[in-house]
Structure 1
Amino acid sequence: MFHLFMYLGTASVSHAVAAAATTYAQQDGSCSNASGPPLHVKVVGLKDLSGRLKLEIFPPTEADFLKDDRKLKAEGRSFRRVWSGSPPGRDAALCIRAPGPGTWAVLFTHDRDGKNKFNPWRDGAGLPSNHPLGLTRPKVKPALVTIPAGGMSIEIRAQYLKGLNGFQPL
């Protein structure tokens, strides 16, 4: 039941270690620093304006989705991440460059306390499909987006814990 919490929490801890150890982890896919087709993401439904926003692109397989970025890079797999501060309103505009055109898995998280460790009681998350995340580890299929060479725009609805119903939009 709490697999999503445990998985995202573990992944965030390892991401925090990776971020401290490498500079690429903070802006490894920003539209101003990286090459590849841009993915413009409008995030709607933020709970509040606290903390930071994170957008990540993973390879489109179940085995690679949500895998530690250090392992992905060591295996020669593509991965991208961007961080953003709090937006001025309840919606945010983020841009990340995909490693290339094709199908990729995308994950958004709202790190409300700024600790880079997923706290299921506070933090939010979202996938491009915008289906409720529930309480289990997300599967790769709802995270998939096919990005053309010229890039594209999508909208992700932020989701937060709503009791035993799991993560859902506000």
Structure 2
Amino acid sequence: MKYLYLMVAAATPLLLAAQNVPSSPDLGKAEGRCRGGESGPAIKVSVTGLKDRKGKLKLEVYPSNDNDFLEDDNKLINAGKTFRRVEVSVPNSGTPQLCIRVPSAGSYSLSLLHDRDSNRKFGLSVDGIGFSSNPKLGWSKPKAAATRITAGSGVTRTTIVMNYRRGLTSFRPLKN
């Protein structure tokens, strides 16, 4: 009996590790990608205020609470929480439109990165950032409540205004 207990105790960490999803910049993409003629639940985002037409746009969906908003994608997925991602090249012209599927109607928080150098990381002096509900930005992440969007059972439409570093003191939209 003692031998069986030791075997189970030794195997438990291995079994738990096998359940974890390995890190990848593609996490959440399969679940987030809208289908042609998407009927929902999904969120269609129009992007305004781009600095230029370089790089990629990365849209992510998070649970709309302060503990999970902008949390590591691996942690969210391993905990069975909502995380979705869509990444596209910035189009040469027109208003970019990104569609991202959500698991069900309800409240979510969105972040949108304008990854101008396409390195898949946020560069403070290079890249732009935006959030659902377009909160005013400071030097810390916004509260989830300020970024909350409610998705219906169909396709919910919204606009995200991009923000870029302006001087030493703020992130804000560009002047037209």
SS for the counterpart of 1:58 is strand
Matched, 1:29 2:32: yes
SS for the counterpart of 1:164 is coil
Matched, 1:101 2:87: no
1:28 and 1:112, CA in 2 relative to 1: closer, same or farther beyond 3 A?
A: farther
Listed one character per residue, the Cα deviations across residues 27-86 of structure 1 (whole Å, up to 9, x for unaligned) are 430112999512110000100011100101001110000001110011111111000111
> In the alignment, is the contact (CA less than 8 A) between 2:27 and 2:73 conserved in 1?
no
* Equivalent pairs, count: 151
* Alpha-carbon distance in 2 for matches of 1:149, 1:25: 20
Matched, 1:71 2:82: no
1:133 and 1:122, CA in 2 relative to 1: closer, same or farther beyond 3 A?
A: same
* Alpha-carbon distance in 2 for matches of 1:120, 1:90: 26
Matched, 1:134 2:138: yes
Which blocks of at least 5 consecutive residues in structure 1 are unaligned? Answer: 1-16
Identity %: 40
Amino acid at match of 2:42: P
Amino acid at match of 2:32: G
TM-score when normalising by structure 1? 0.82
> In the alignment, is the contact (CA less than 8 A) between 1:46 and 1:91 conserved in 2?
no
SS for the counterpart of 1:73 is helix
Amino acid at match of 1:124: G
SS for the counterpart of 2:114 is strand
Q: CA RMSD in A?
A: 1.9
Which blocks of at least 5 consecutive residues in structure 2 are unaligned? Answer: 1-22
Matched, 1:61 2:65: yes
* Alpha-carbon distance in 1 for matches of 2:79, 2:60: 17
SS for the counterpart of 2:86 is strand
SS for the counterpart of 2:132 is coil
TM-score when normalising by structure 2? 0.79
SS for the counterpart of 2:146 is helix
Listed one character per residue, the Cα deviations across residues 67-126 of structure 1 (whole Å, up to 9, x for unaligned) are 011100111111110001111226311100111100011111100000001101000011
Match 2:24 to one of 5, 18, 29: 18
Following superposition, the deviation at residue 139 of structure 1 comes to: 1.4
Question: Which protein shows a greater Rg?
Answer: 2
Match 2:44 to one of 40, 44, 47: 40
Greater shift after overlay, 75-84 or 126-135? 126-135
* Alpha-carbon distance in 2 for matches of 1:78, 1:141: 16
* Alpha-carbon distance in 1 for matches of 2:167, 2:136: 13
